[in-house]
Amino acid sequence: MFTTQKEISTPTRVLSVPVKVHVVDPSAYTPPYDHALCAALARDGVDVALFTSRFAYGAAPTPDGYARHELFYRAARGAPASRRRRALKLAEHVPDMLRYRAAAQAADLVHFQWLAVPQIDGRLLPHGRPLVLTAHEVLAREPSPAERSAQRRLYRRMDAVIVHSEHGRARLVGELGLPDALVHTIPHGAFEHLARQPSGPLPAGLPATDAPVVLCFGLIRPYKGIDVLIEAWGGGIADAELWIVGRPRFEIGSLRSAAGAGVRWVTRFVDEQELAACFRRADVVVLPYREIEQSGVLATALAFGSPLVLSDVGGFAEVARAGAARLVPPGDPAALRAALAELIGDPGARGRLGAAARALAADEWSWQRTAERTKALYSSLLS
């Protein structure tokens, strides 16, 4: 069972009156997570406001019981992830963090989702109220000693740090030396609101097929192991299709050249209805990552009850222990090929994995449970 450390180990005062909580995601890195958390907290009686920026890739989810303020990076222009846009955001960062620090005087507690410039963000935080940070990326990949030190200082400025897996908690305590009582494990939450979306048409490039479909979804980054998946697929999986859907964050020409028959690509951001169509059509969802702590794509797949094949990295093993995923060693095309081929050919196994995924989404990974645990943590900090 997932628990947070402080809320379970010590008695805390349950919030008896609505508290004002600001959820802050300056760069709008995770709009689905921000929306799901804020809506769940609002349903549990918390007065929530989300402070963020305009989502560069499309429409953000409509607020449900909470207020949304686009306070950050209002002058940023240019293509998403372009040098021009990054430069404009960096120029606005300090003034906007200071502007938010003034706005935070209206909050009882501030819950940051991302702080992208740890070298300076620790000096720009609000004062006089509890601060919480959700460590979506527990530790930076290949950080310099200076970056690791800055991340440690930022975490220590918080009154609580939330991680989404016990594996991530162990890393922060063991590798970064954070106090045990500072770090709390609260599951990510399955994206139920995405599973409630009506299906639109499949994205262009994914024609209807009667063949089994394996879906790899999300931003395409080097650490996500798409090269391993391509090699696995080319080694003998027949009479099925592999759909790779997501915007690349590096040059993928060589990957596309190496992909064999039956591999289809959609290399752009897809909207929520297209997302729903992809997940409902998929027979298996695969996350062949080389490294990760937890994943929004995994949270989406659980909400749809998708059978999962995951690399044995980060917190993924905690999902597999609940019976909701098949694990393979990271970077092992042969093992990945064997797991995919087995599930493609075994509807019963897919059904068991899907049922376990839906059960996990309805219980430990439900947003009701996540909101309860998060609210209990707030209570302990405000006592």
pLDDT 10s digits, 356-378: 999 999 999 999 999 999 999 99
**pLDDT score at 113:** 97
Residue type, 177: G
pLDDT 10s digits, 50-92: 999 999 888 899 999 999 999 999 988 888 778 888 899 989 9
Shared-domain flag, residues 274 and 306:
yes
**pLDDT score at 64:** 97
Classify each residue of 118-153 as buried b or exposed e, where b means 16 or more C-beta atoms within 10 Å of its C-beta: beebbebbbeebbbbbbbbebbeeeeeeeeeebbbe
* Average of per-residue pLDDT values in the chain: 92
Residue 115 predicted with pLDDT over 60:
yes
**pLDDT score at 356:** 98
**pLDDT score at 13:** 45
**pLDDT score at 50:** 98
Shared-domain flag, residues 349 and 228:
yes
Please report, for the domain that includes residue 352, its CATH number. Answer: 3.40.50.2000
Residue type, 76: A
**pLDDT score at 198:** 86
260 pLDDT band, cuts 50/70/90, is confident
Least confident of 134-148, 222-236, 242-256: 134-148
Residue 2 predicted with pLDDT over 80:
no
Residue 12 predicted with pLDDT over 70:
no
Exposed / middle / buried, residue 70 (Cβ in 10 Å: 0-12, 13-18, 19+): middle
Shared-domain flag, residues 49 and 172:
yes
CB 256 within 8 A of CB 359: no
Nearest to 203 by CA among 269, 267, 273, 274: 274
Shared-domain flag, residues 315 and 207:
yes
pTM: 0.92
Q: SS3 helix, strand, coil % of the chain, rounded to 5? A: 40, 15, 45
Shared-domain flag, residues 281 and 134:
no
Which has more pLDDT, 236 or 43?
Answer: 43
pLDDT 10s digits, 167-188: 999 999 999 999 999 999 999 9
Shared-domain flag, residues 299 and 374:
no
Kindly state the helix (H) or strand (E) to which residue 353 belongs, with its residue range. Answer: helix 347-362
Classify each residue of 282-291 as buried b or exposed e, where b means 16 or more C-beta atoms within 10 Å of its C-beta: bbbbbbbbbe
9 pLDDT band, cuts 50/70/90, is very low
Residue 5 predicted with pLDDT over 80:
no
Average pLDDT over residues 300-312: 98
Shared-domain flag, residues 178 and 198:
no
Residue 324 predicted with pLDDT over 70:
yes
Determine the 3-state secondary structure of 293 from DSSP: coil
Shared-domain flag, residues 84 and 13:
yes
Shared-domain flag, residues 83 and 227:
no
Residue 230 predicted with pLDDT over 50:
yes
**pLDDT score at 97:** 97
d(CA 2, CA 67): 29
d(CA 334, CA 235): 8
329 pLDDT band, cuts 50/70/90, is very high
Residue 26 predicted with pLDDT over 70:
yes
**pLDDT score at 7:** 37
Kindly state the helix (H) or strand (E) to which residue 245 belongs, with its residue range. Answer: strand 241-245
Shared-domain flag, residues 165 and 240:
no
Shared-domain flag, residues 40 and 80:
yes
Domain extent for 253 = 193-362
Shared-domain flag, residues 215 and 161:
no
State how many domains the chain has.
Answer: 2
**pLDDT score at 16:** 56
